[in-house]
Amino acid sequence: MLTLKNLSFAIDDENGHKDILKNINLTINEKKTVVITGPNGGGKSTLAKIIMGIEKPTAGQILFNGEDITDWDITQRAQAGISFAFQQPVRFKGIDVKKLLSLAAGSELNCHKQVCEYLSEVGLCAADYIGRDVDTSLSGGEIKRIEIATILAKKNTKLAIFDEPEAGIDLWSFQKLIQVFEKMHKTHNTILIISHQERILNIADEIILIADGHVEQIGTKEEIIPRLVSVAGSCDIYKGVNN
Ligand SMILES: Nc1ncnc2c1ncn2[C@@H]1O[C@H](COP(=O)(O)OP(=O)(O)OP(=O)(O)O)[C@@H](O)[C@H]1O
């Protein structure tokens, strides 16, 4: 479904040259739940942004369903079925939740029940949120859940990317979130999640460990989690709702 070939990303700014991703080679197979994890600053979010077309790689190739999409922009990738939930979701002044979900769905969601379903899947009571603006008045956890609901509303998603979906989400909603991923998995979506949470790692078909811009290890949860446990003192993989 998705292949990254010799992918690199570097920046040159006032602090000089920095290699952020170094020769990444990866394949994400169809209908799999893949979790990318690893220490802070390792390059995970940058990789997700490159897949979505938000950042452009300095070298390498991205193939999506066999097609070279390296030069495609965000809109083209979204139309091809790649969806992205940001680590820090974008807020929109003047757009309410119903409108945002309608934009994601590609048609006006007139049916209250439909909007309600998407919101309740992420643990939000529709009556409280449907008419709220997606602006700074929403809390971090609320906006995060609304963004996840937009991915559910998007009909043509073939590959859904979630960047730290657990961030700012309370324990109860976290449980709902796991159910969202499990349901997406059952309905044969391909899911790529960036996460530090053991409970999310536990639903993965495959885990990719990225550190210092490299792919350190790829394997099943049985292969990777014991290694992470042994280094948990030096990185924050198991901190948060699990502890
Ligand atoms: N536009 C940029 N300019 C300068 N540095 C950048 C830029 N984008 C990313 N970086 C740096 O690249 C490195 C990787 O960042 P990235 O956000 O991809 O890490 P991450 O693995 O997602 O981290 P975290 O787990 O903390 O979210 C970091 O050191 C970050 O500061």
Expressed in angstroms and rounded, the spacing between residue 16 Cα and the centre of ligand 1 is 15
Which amino acid belongs to residue 33?
T
**Strongest mean pLDDT among 15-29, 111-125, 156-170, 180-194:** 15-29
DSSP assigned state of 60: E
For Cα atoms 228, 229, 231, give the angle at the middle one, nearest 5 degrees.
65
Residue 111 binned pLDDT confidence (cut-offs 50, 70, 90): low
CATH class of the domain defined by 2-231: alpha beta
Query: With a 6 A CB cut-off, is 236 part of the ligand 1 pocket?
Result: no
For strands 214-219 and 2-13, give the pairing. Answer: unpaired
Nearest residue by C-alpha to atom 17 in ligand 1: 45
Buried b (16+ CB within 10 A) or exposed e, 129-147: bbebbbeeebeebbbbbbb
In this prediction, residue 33 carries a pLDDT of: 96
Residue 238 binned pLDDT confidence (cut-offs 50, 70, 90): very low
Query: With a 6 A CB cut-off, is 46 part of the ligand 1 pocket?
Result: yes
For Cα atoms 211, 213, 218, give the angle at the middle one, nearest 5 degrees.
55
Expressed in angstroms and rounded, the spacing between residue 189 Cα and the centre of ligand 1 is 27
In this prediction, residue 163 carries a pLDDT of: 94
Please check the confidence at residue 235 and state whether its pLDDT lies above 50: no
Q: Please say whether the beta carbons of 194 and 200 come within 8 A.
A: no
Which amino acid belongs to residue 9?
F
**pLDDT one-digit tens code per residue, 18-54:** 999 999 999 999 999 999 999 999 999 999 999 999 9
Query: With a 6 A CB cut-off, is 20 part of the ligand 1 pocket?
Result: yes
Nearest residue by C-alpha to atom 1 in ligand 1: 11
Please check the confidence at residue 12 and state whether its pLDDT lies above 60: yes
Nearest residue by C-alpha to atom 7 in ligand 1: 11
User: Domain segments of the chain: what residues?
Assistant: 2-231
Site to probe by mutation for ligand 1, drawn from 14, 19, 45 as the one with most ligand atoms within 8 Å of Cβ, is 45
Mean pLDDT value of segment 176-198:
90
Nearest residue by C-alpha to atom 12 in ligand 1: 20
Atom of ligand 1 nearest to the CA of 87: 27
Buried b (16+ CB within 10 A) or exposed e, 182-201: eebbeeebbbbbbbbbbebb
Please check the confidence at residue 240 and state whether its pLDDT lies above 60: no
Query: With a 6 A CB cut-off, is 43 part of the ligand 1 pocket?
Result: yes
Atom of ligand 1 nearest to the CA of 43: 18
Residue 88 binned pLDDT confidence (cut-offs 50, 70, 90): confident
In this prediction, residue 170 carries a pLDDT of: 83
Q: What is the ipTM of this complex?
A: 0.96
Element (H, E) at 186: helix 171-186
Expressed in angstroms and rounded, the spacing between residue 86 Cα and the centre of ligand 1 is 14
SS3 string of 103-133?
HHHCCCCCCHHHHHHHHHHCCCCHHHHCCCE
CA 126 to chain centre: 23
What average pLDDT does the chain have? 88
Please check the confidence at residue 132 and state whether its pLDDT lies above 80: yes
